[in-house]
């Protein structure tokens, strides 16, 4: 089985991204051929800082490795280092329906957010993403809920291409984790935890014990005093229970029983201890990687070489069937 997925080197990757996306990747690694990309060409479709882009790319690479991605087994690379991504995206642009692109929820959201600055790349973003996926004859794409629509469009594009030019691409399936797919903001539990919201709203994978303590301590709770899972009436506590459950591998029901007679405060204390413990391997791996920056560069260069080989094979087929 062939797996492909990627994360943008923009903003701050947090436990929500880990639980919904990266944790799935690590599990897939055991049973599939995996390619994990750092999609810098997607990150530049909205205003960004040129000076810190390289640093952010390295940061995402550290997160992949600290999460348990094994670069000897899986391919880890940066999108812009394999030029076939842009080549295939251009070709797919010629068969993608403009109406489909304009309908994408993320395009609508982002073009509202950056209304002074909407570039054609923002509209074409899903075509580049379809190229990423189809270039490797990907069978399964593990992503967060918010990317489901883009993977569905990649399927539509692949089917259209195959029927127009002959069987060329595998049709990819999407894989979305049901629980954990939505971790909410700590400060506003009606909203998803987001890479671009204030620091206090999210827990980063490399947060120090002090940061974790402070953020969980000030996380929004609800009126009442019961530790009960009820996202409508108790969104704050329900979110903290979800986080607790996912990091402890204990069902929410068991946690409700265990904390039945305890206060919000002691529940938060216990969650803080759990997160400090579970994120310790991430912090350790990060400080190890920081001591040896060439190590990551080497992994990315090697990954790009391995990816390129596969990408070139697909491009040869594509050009042939298109008469190029």
- Which whole-number Å values give the CA distances from 313 to 88, 168, 171, in the listed order? 12, 11, 17
Q: How far is the CB of 111 from ligand TRP (least distance, A)?
A: 15
Contact between residue 48 and residue 119 where contact means Cβ atoms under 8 Å apart:
no
Residue closer to ligand TRP (CB basis): 143 or 216: 143
CA atoms of 29 and 42, how far apart (whole Å)? 24
Can you give the binding site for ligand TRP, defined by CB under 6 A? 4-8, 39, 42, 129, 132-133, 141, 143, 147, 150
Residue closer to ligand TRP (CB basis): 62 or 272: 62
State the alpha helices, DSSP H only, in 223-263: 235-248, 252-258
Chain centroid to Cα 128, Å, comes to 16
**How long a stretch of residues is the chain?**
324
Helix axes 209-217 and 264-290, enclosed angle (nearest 10): 150
Q: How far is the CB of 104 from ligand TRP (least distance, A)?
A: 11
Bridge-based pairing state of the strands 140-142 and 173-175: parallel
Q: How far is the CB of 20 from ligand TRP (least distance, A)?
A: 10
The residues assigned a catalytic role are 110, 192, 195
Residue closer to ligand TRP (CB basis): 101 or 141: 141
CA atoms within 13 A of residue 245's CA, in its CB half-sphere: 20
Residue closer to ligand TRP (CB basis): 8 or 314: 8
Q: How far is the CB of 39 from ligand TRP (least distance, A)?
A: 4
């Amino acid at each position: 089985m062939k797996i492909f997925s990627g994360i943008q080197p923009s903003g701050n990757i947090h436990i929500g991204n880990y639980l919904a996306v990266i944790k799935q990747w690590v599990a897939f690694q055991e049973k599939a051929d995996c390619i994990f990309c750092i999609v810098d060409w997607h990150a530049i479709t909205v205003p960004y800082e040129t000076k810190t882009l390289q640093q952010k790319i390295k940061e995402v690479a550290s997160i992949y490795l600290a999460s348990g991605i094994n670069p000897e087994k899986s391919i880890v690379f940066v999108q812009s280092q394999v030029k076939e991504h842009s080549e295939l995206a251009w070709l797919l642009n010629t068969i993608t329906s403009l109406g489909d692109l304009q309908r994408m929820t993320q395009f609508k959201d982002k073009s509202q957010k950056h209304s002074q600055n909407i570039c054609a790349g923002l509209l074409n973003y899903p075509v580049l993403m379809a190229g990423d996926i189809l270039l490797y004859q990907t069978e399964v794409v593990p992503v967060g809920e918010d990317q489901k629509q883009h993977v569905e469009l990649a399927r539509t594009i692949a089917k259209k291409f195959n029927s127009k030019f002959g069987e060329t691409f595998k049709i990819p399936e999407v894989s979305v984790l049901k629980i954990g797919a939505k971790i909410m903001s700590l400060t506003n539990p009606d909203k998803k935890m987001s890479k671009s919201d204030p620091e206090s709203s999210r827990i980063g994978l490399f947060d120090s014990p002090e940061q974790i303590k402070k953020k969980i301590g000030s996380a929004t709770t609800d009126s009442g005093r019961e530790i009960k899972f009820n996202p409508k009436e108790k969104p704050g506590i329900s979110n903290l229970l979800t986080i607790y459950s996912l990091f402890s591998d204990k069902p929410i029901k068991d946690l409700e029983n265990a904390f039945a007679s305890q206060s919000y405060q002691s529940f938060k204390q216990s969650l803080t201890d759990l997160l400090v413990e579970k994120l310790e391997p991430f912090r350790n791996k990060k400080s190890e990687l920081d001591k040896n920056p060439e190590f990551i560069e080497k992994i990315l260069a090697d990954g790009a070489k391995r990816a390129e080989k596969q990408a070139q094979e697909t491009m040869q087929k594509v050009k042939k069937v298109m008469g190029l």
